[in-house]
């Protein structure tokens, strides 16, 4: 998919854990780069007992390079899953990519977006329909078992099997011949996955697709240890055998997750002894200033202070690049009143996003009028959005089937959260709908894991508090995945034959310019149909990082990063 990223507090450097996020908090803002950890519940206080225990030795300095040892501490939220094949949200994603891995990975360099991971190389054959991967020599799982091509075949088929109940296997692996039959329960193996020998895996897809290699960077395509999964059953992810730079050392729900160095990692092993994710919540800035965590987002309340060069904390300030994400309000077109295009368009035109950006967020957010964010492949400044126009909004409402409030269905807007304020953005939008259209809505909060489950099952009438963040640098991850009528991630049930035709044409189009044109044409239709109410795009922001933390990398896409972090303390 990916991932849905929850739009979290006005902590402008926070990333929530979707599109793949964490828990909702009092004021929503666009989620920032997925390389930035999510702030947990901002209203919860003290950290769990023992969270600051340092069982490992302090860093051992090296005159020739980074230090080995030490612990990196950060805030996070409980992940809905630790099973890579079930990941659909950023909270889970940010941890899973540190523990597990696949054939290829996203690169930190945008000029070279994909890198070999467990595969040392690959070849594209048969006019783009066959991919042959050569695994690295002497690959091992974290328990010392060898990693072979057969492990990948088993893992892909396991991800697609109905018993696994992955909601995204069809989207990420469905191009492989035979995977759809497994998803449909008509087969247990895929003819398009061939084990040539222990180190050679051949994948046959149904047509040449420019984005296929990109999909293999997502956790659905990560390799698992068959014996580990089958011997421990449903609880296997409590003690996972893995291939990433870290292993799961401990997980105490609501307290902490501890990752330790994987000494069987194929590449240079991590410098850190541990990464500790605090799940107990707390006030991020206060915890940072008390040296309880090593990184934090910067919210509006603290922005002026941390930017003051006379303040001691100013030396910790770093710039964070915008992430490739769009936050939005989603509509379920299978439920009234959102089955009416005029009604949806009225809601879009009734929201003054620029006013919210000016008055609520001090212009630290950028109103979104399209889907694909600026700077991302396929972005077009020519997309014409549904801008604020109160009179047009009233006219469209009058033309809709739901103009009469007496017969209009009850409207429930669901946001993730566990009580308290549903979020300032949501409240302001609801107030604009009320003032400009006379439309009343109910705001409902549900716990994050339930929210994600209900979203996938199409149970929500309308929803907010989320961002969709790119999984890989290709417009397919926005337009095709989100709005193709047959996509499992098309949560609103949007269906438009012309959009479907454009994205299907783009799937196999080899001319890059024409391919982008297809996506832009589809995007314009989606926007004109008001399938969403887009809110904000990712923006430049700021974070605080402790001076002893070295080589922490911020990225506009989610990449594994802790392997290269080291502590100089």
* pLDDT tens per residue across span 51-104: 233 344 455 445 557 989 999 999 999 999 999 999 999 999 999 999 999 999
Q: Which two tokens stand for residue 504?
A: 């299907």
Q: How far apart are CA 125 and CA 330, in angstroms?
A: 40
Number of Cβ within a 10 Å radius of residue 365: 25
pLDDT over 50 (residue 358): yes
pLDDT over 50 (residue 190): yes
Q: Give Cα 90 distance to the centre of its chain.
A: 4
The mean pLDDT of the chain is: 88
Q: Which two tokens stand for residue 153?
A: 């075949």
Residue 421's pLDDT band (cuts 50, 70, 90): confident
Q: How far apart are CA 299 and CA 318, in angstroms?
A: 14
pLDDT over 50 (residue 20): no
- Comparing 98-107, 154-163, 200-209, 446-455, the range with the smallest average pLDDT is 446-455
What's residue 49's pLDDT?
Answer: 26
* pLDDT tens per residue across span 267-326: 999 999 999 999 998 999 999 999 999 999 998 889 999 999 999 999 999 999 888 999
Which domains are delineated in the chain? 4-99+249-322+541-567 (3.40.190.10), 104-232 (3.90.76.10), 325-537 (3.10.105.10)
Q: Are 10 and 425 in contact (CB under 8 A)?
A: no
What's residue 110's pLDDT?
Answer: 61
**Cis amide bond preceding 337, omega within 30:** yes
- Comparing 209-218, 245-254, 263-272, 554-563, the range with the smallest average pLDDT is 554-563
What's residue 423's pLDDT?
Answer: 81
pLDDT over 90 (residue 422): no
Residue 109's pLDDT band (cuts 50, 70, 90): low
Average pLDDT over residues 451-469: 92
What's residue 111's pLDDT?
Answer: 66
Q: Are 414 and 379 in contact (CB under 8 A)?
A: no
pLDDT over 60 (residue 330): yes
Where is 160: in which H helix or E strand? helix 149-160
* Residues 6 or more apart whose Cβ sits within 8 Å of residue 406: none
pLDDT over 70 (residue 45): no
- Comparing 2-16, 86-100, 357-371, 454-468, the range with the smallest average pLDDT is 2-16
Interior CA angle at 294 toward 87 and 42, to 5°? 65
Q: Give Cα 500 distance to the centre of its chain.
A: 24
Residue 250's pLDDT band (cuts 50, 70, 90): very high
Pick from 36, 45, 18, 22: which is nearest to 74 by CA?
Answer: 36
Q: Beta partners for 123? A: 132
What's residue 300's pLDDT?
Answer: 83
pLDDT over 70 (residue 499): yes
What's residue 286's pLDDT?
Answer: 96
pLDDT over 90 (residue 18): no
Residue 395's pLDDT band (cuts 50, 70, 90): very high
pLDDT over 60 (residue 139): yes
pTM of the model: 0.86
Residue with tokens 């077109």: 333
Pick from 544, 33, 552, 37: which is nearest to 278 by CA?
Answer: 37
Q: How far apart are CA 540 and CA 531, in angstroms?
A: 27
């Amino acid at each position: 998919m990916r991932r849905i990223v929850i739009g979290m507090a006005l902590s402008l450097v926070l990333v929530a854990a979707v599109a793949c996020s964490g828990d909702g908090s009092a004021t929503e803002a666009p989620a920032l780069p997925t390389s930035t950890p999510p702030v947990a519940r901002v209203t919860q206080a003290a950290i769990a007992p023992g969270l600051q225990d340092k069982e490992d030795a302090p860093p051992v300095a090296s005159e020739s390079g980074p230090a080995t040892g030490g612990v990196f501490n950060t805030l996070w939220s409980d992940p809905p899953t630790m099973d890579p094949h079930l990941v659909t949200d950023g909270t889970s994603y940010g941890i899973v990519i540190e523990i597990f891995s696949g054939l290829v990975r996203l690169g930190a360099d945008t000029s070279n977006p994909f890198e070999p991971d467990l595969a040392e190389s690959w070849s594209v054959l048969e006019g783009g329909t066959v991919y042959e991967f050569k695994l690295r020599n002497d690959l091992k799982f974290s328990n010392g078992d060898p990693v072979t091509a057969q492990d990948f075949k088993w893992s892909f088929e396991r991800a697609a099997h109905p018993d696994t109940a992955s909601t995204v296997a069809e989207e990420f692996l469905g191009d492989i011949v035979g995977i759809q039959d497994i998803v449909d329960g008509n087969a247990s193996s895929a003819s398009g996955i061939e084990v040539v020998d222990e180190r050679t895996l051949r994948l046959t897809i149904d047509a040449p697709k420019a984005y296929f290699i990109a999909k293999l960077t997502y956790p659905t395509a990560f390799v698992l240890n068959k014996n580990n999964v089958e011997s421990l059953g449903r609880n296997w992810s409590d003690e996972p055998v893995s291939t990433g730079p870290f292993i799961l050392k401990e997980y105490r729900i609501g307290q902490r997750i501890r990752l330790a160095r994987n000494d069987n990692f194929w590449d240079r092993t991590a410098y850190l002894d541990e990464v500790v994710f605090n799940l107990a919540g707390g006030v991020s800035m206060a915890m940072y200033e008390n040296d309880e965590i090593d990184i934090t987002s910067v919210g509006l309340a603290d922005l002026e202070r941390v930017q003051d060069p006379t303040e001691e904390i100013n030396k910790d300030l770093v710039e964070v690049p915008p992430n490739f994400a769009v936050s939005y309000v989603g509509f379920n077109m299978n439920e009234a009143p959102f089955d009416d295009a005029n009604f949806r368009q009225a809601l879009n035109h009734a929201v003054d996003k620029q006013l919210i950006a000016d008055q609520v967020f001090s212009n630290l957010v950028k109103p979104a009028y399209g889907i694909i964010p600026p700077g991302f492949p396929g972005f077009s400044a020519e997309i014409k959005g549904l801008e604020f126009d109160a009179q047009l909004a009233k006219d469209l409402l009058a033309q809709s089937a739901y103009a009469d409030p007496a017969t209009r269905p009850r409207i429930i807007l669901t946001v993730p959260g566990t009580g308290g304020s549903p979020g300032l953005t949501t409240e302001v939008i609801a107030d604009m709908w009320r003032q400009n259209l006379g439309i009343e809505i109910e705001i409902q909060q549900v716990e994050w894991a339930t929210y994600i489950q209900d979203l996938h099952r199409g149970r929500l009438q309308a929803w907010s508090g989320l961002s969709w963040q790119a999984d890989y640098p290709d417009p397919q991850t926005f337009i095709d995945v989100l709005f193709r009528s047959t996509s499992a991630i098309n949560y609103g049930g949007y269906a438009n034959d012309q959009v479907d035709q454009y994205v299907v044409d783009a799937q196999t189009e080899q001319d890059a310019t024409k391919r982008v044109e297809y996506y832009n044409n589809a995007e314009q239709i989606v926007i004109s149909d008001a399938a969403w109410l887009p809110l904000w795009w990712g923006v430049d922001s700021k974070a605080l990082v402790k001076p002893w933390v070295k080589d922490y990398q911020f990225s506009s896409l989610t990449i594994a990063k802790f392997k290269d972090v080291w502590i100089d303390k």
